[in-house]
Structure 1
Amino acid sequence: MDYHLFRLINDLSGQYKMLDRIMLWSSEYVTILLAFALFGFFIVGLKKKIYMKTALFTGAALVVSMGIGYVVKGLFYRPRPFIEHDVNLLVLHNTASSFPSNHTLAAFAIALGIAVFHKKVGSLLLLCAGLIGLSRVYLGHHYPLDVFAGVSIALLVVFLLKKSLNKLERGTRRHVTKRVS
Structure 2
Amino acid sequence: MVGFQGVDYSIFQILNSLAGRSSELDFLLATMASDFLIPVGLGLILFHKWFSGRTDNQMKYNQKLVLISLVNMAIAALLVFILNLWFFRERPFAVHDVNLIFYQPTDSSMPSNFATGTFALVLPMLRVNLQQAALMILMVLTGSLSRVCVGIHYPSDILVGFMLAIFAIPITLILVRYTNALQERIFHITRRLIPT
Q: TM-score, normalised by structure 2?
A: 0.77
Residue 94 of structure 2 is aligned to residue 118 of structure 1: no
Aligned residue number for residue 3 of structure 2? none
Q: Paired residues, what number?
A: 169
The 1:152/1:107 distance shift into structure 2, 3 A limit, reads same
Provide the C-alpha distance between the structure 2 equivalents of 1:64 and 1:93, rounded to a whole number of angstroms: 26
Aligned residue number for residue 6 of structure 1? 12
Which amino acid in the other structure matches residue 41 of structure 1? K
Residue 73 of structure 2 is aligned to residue 65 of structure 1: no
Identity %: 28
Note the 1:45-84 alignment, pairs <5 A: 48-84=59-95
Give the alignment partner of residue 110 of structure 2, picking from 99, 123, 126. 99
Partner secondary structure for residue 48 of structure 1: helix
The 1:117/1:156 distance shift into structure 2, 3 A limit, reads farther
**Gap runs ≥5 in structure 1:** 170-181
**Gap runs ≥5 in structure 2:** 1-6, 181-196
Aligned partners of 1:12 and 1:138 also within 8 Å: yes
More displaced 10-residue stretch of structure 1: 31-40 or 66-75: 31-40
How much has 1:20 moved relative to structure 2?
1.9
Provide the C-alpha distance between the structure 1 equivalents of 2:45 and 2:120, rounded to a whole number of angstroms: 12
Please give the per-residue CA displacement for 1:129-181, whole angstroms capped at 9, x wherever unaligned: 00111011001101011000111111222255457768999xxxxxxxxxxxx
Residue 48 of structure 2 is aligned to residue 40 of structure 1: yes
How much has 1:82 moved relative to structure 2?
0.3
Give the alignment partner of residue 24 of structure 2, picking from 18, 25, 35. 18
Aligned partners of 2:15 and 2:149 also within 8 Å: yes
Q: CA RMSD in A?
A: 2.5
